[in-house]
Amino acid sequence: MKKKKQQDISAELRLWRKRHKLSQPQAALKLRISPRTLQEWEQSRAAPRHLALVALRDKIGR
């Protein structure tokens, strides 16, 4: 995934989590992913695959 797009996804996730006043473990539970995965995505060290990205957008409304 391109670095810019990955950073955009990371920023969207952090913004969504903070807007809903969720900790990383709470947000991960809502998204049905591990807290470690969310941490990796938020820090741009990893990116969701296509199907996970589609599911994420449905859940966070982007």
- pLDDT tens for residues 9-56? 899 999 999 999 999 999 999 999 999 999 999 999 998 888 788 888
pTM: 0.79
CATH node for 3-60: 1.10.260.40
20 contact partners, CB below 8 Å, separation of at least 6: 27
User: 4-21 b/e with 16+ CB inside 10 Å = b?
Assistant: eebeebbebbbebbeeee
